[in-house]
Amino acid sequence: MQEKGIHAFLPKLEAWSRRKDRRKKIQKALFPGYLFVKENLDPLHRLEILKTSGVVKILGNEEGPIPVPEIQIESIQKILAGRTAVSPFPYLKEGQLIRVVDGPLKGCEGFLLKIKEEKEKLVISIELLKRSVSVEIDGADIEPIIS
């Protein structure tokens, strides 16, 4: 993209790579598979972007590309420049089917009932009994189940 004069932003973070014999710090994409492009998307520029190796498509709908709000891009840039601990976090919505990936409840599946400031509520339902149980859980310990 840079060779074509197209302004692009690939947010990266430092992560530890697990090797068989050692650990090494590497740069890893914050949003794997996504690159932010700040460009006028007239047909010529759009074609140049799509012809770039590794580009699959430009996100949008039937009306065309949908821009990411500038404030969100600026926020990501400030967070990464701040040298604070940054880690990806799953995009979660209330009512979504989730799986616990860490902690004492690892392996449990259920629905995300409520998103609160510090803890999320996981609901596990037993259909046969028509009963449910809920528990508060750290949002970093869960991931969405994609069906």
Domain extent listing, the chain: 7-81, 97-144
CA distance 127 to 124: 9
- pLDDT tens digit sequence for 16-26: 777 777 888 88
Give the pTM. Answer: 0.61
For the chain, the maximum distance between any two Cα atoms, rounded to a whole number of angstroms, is 62
- pLDDT tens digit sequence for 39-60: 888 888 889 899 998 889 888 8
